[in-house]
């Protein structure tokens, strides 16, 4: 592991500016019945809004709203159903001072969400769906490109790498090149190495140990390892809801290696850990 400073960069949206030289917490809001850690807990609009407001109070800068589970072997969701789950929550939260990202791969969903007040496109499939690249270029909003092979239904069978970190970088670079070639602005791009997606536990930990290498790509980095299975495996197989401490540790290790954004279920614990880390940095 190599320590890296956070980039002196700002993420600029149509209605917000984020200073990425300070670590930012993205609170996870799954409006799904089947997500691996909290499926069904915030499926109704009122529950979802209440949870989002609590995460904001706990220090989340971004609320990441997802209407489709991408856990291993998750069933696909029809576009109309994803819109039905996501848009009422976006409309309700648009009244508050919060940056909203939408965890979707569907161009129709992100269009509807942006019209309703969302700001960032968080795509686990890195704009591989039909018309996704063109939509990202047209909308001209920040977009997270995450590394994944295949689909949730088959990604666990696609974890063969020569060198996981180098292969992730090379495959992300291919997606970046395609995005920029079609008109996505480089200043709108955030990269995510995709912890837990088409990677086994050993590969995830290698990727975490070598997270700093992602900085050579020159883009802001998001780390999304919250409550993932490999964290649980390191902790003797404890269930997802008990992985907060391990997740927070992974987030801090990511930030030390250059991650500007960490995507977390346990927002308050993550924010508190970042405050301790920052206090250490400025101590004389």
Active-site residue list: 228, 263
Alpha-carbon span 156 to 229, nearest angstrom: 12
Residue whose structure tokens are 């004389």: 284
Nearest 5°: CA angle at 189, between 265 and 138? 110
CA distance 81 to 52: 21
Closest by CA position to 132, among listed 198, 65, 79: 79
Count of beta carbons in the 10 Å neighbourhood of residue 95:
9
Taking CB atoms within 8 Å and a gap of at least 24, the contacts of 48-57 are: 48/89, 49/89, 49/92, 49/93, 52/27, 52/89, 52/93, 52/98, 53/96, 55/27, 55/29, 55/267, 56/27, 56/96, 56/98
């Amino acid at each position: 592991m190599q320590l890296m400073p956070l980039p002196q960069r700002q993420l600029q949206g149509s209605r917000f500016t984020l200073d990425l030289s300070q670590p930012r917490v993205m609170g996870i809001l799954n409006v799904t019945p089947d997500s691996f850690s909290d499926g069904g807990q915030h499926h109704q609009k009122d529950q979802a809004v209440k949870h989002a407001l609590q995460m904001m109070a706990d220090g989340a800068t971004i609320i990441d709203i997802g209407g489709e589970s991408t856990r291993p072997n998750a069933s696909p969701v029809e576009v109309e159903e994803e819109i039905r789950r996501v848009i009422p929550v976006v409309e309700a939260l648009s009244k508050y001072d919060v940056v909203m990202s939408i965890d979707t791969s569907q161009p129709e969903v992100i269009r509807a969400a942006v019209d309703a007040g969302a700001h960032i496109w968080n795509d686990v499939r890195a704009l591989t769906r039909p018309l996704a690249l063109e939509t990202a270029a047209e909308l001209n909003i920040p977009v997270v490109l995450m590394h994944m092979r295949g689909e949730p239904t088959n990604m666990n069978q696609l974890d063969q790498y020569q060198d996981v970190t180098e292969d992730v970088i090379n495959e992300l670079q291919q997606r970046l090149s395609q995005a920029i070639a079609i008109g996505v602005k480089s200043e709108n791009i955030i990269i995510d190495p995709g912890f837990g997606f088409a990677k086994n536990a050993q590969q995830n930990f290698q990727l975490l140990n070598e997270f700093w290498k992602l900085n050579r790509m020159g883009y802001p980095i998001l780390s999304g390892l919250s409550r993932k299975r490999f964290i649980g495996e390191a902790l003797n197989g404890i269930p997802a809801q008990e992985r907060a401490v391990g997740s927070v540790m992974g987030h801090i290790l990511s930030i030390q290696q250059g991650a500007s954004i960490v995507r977390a279920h346990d927002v308050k614990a993550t924010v508190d850990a970042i405050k301790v880390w920052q206090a250490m940095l400025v101590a004389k």
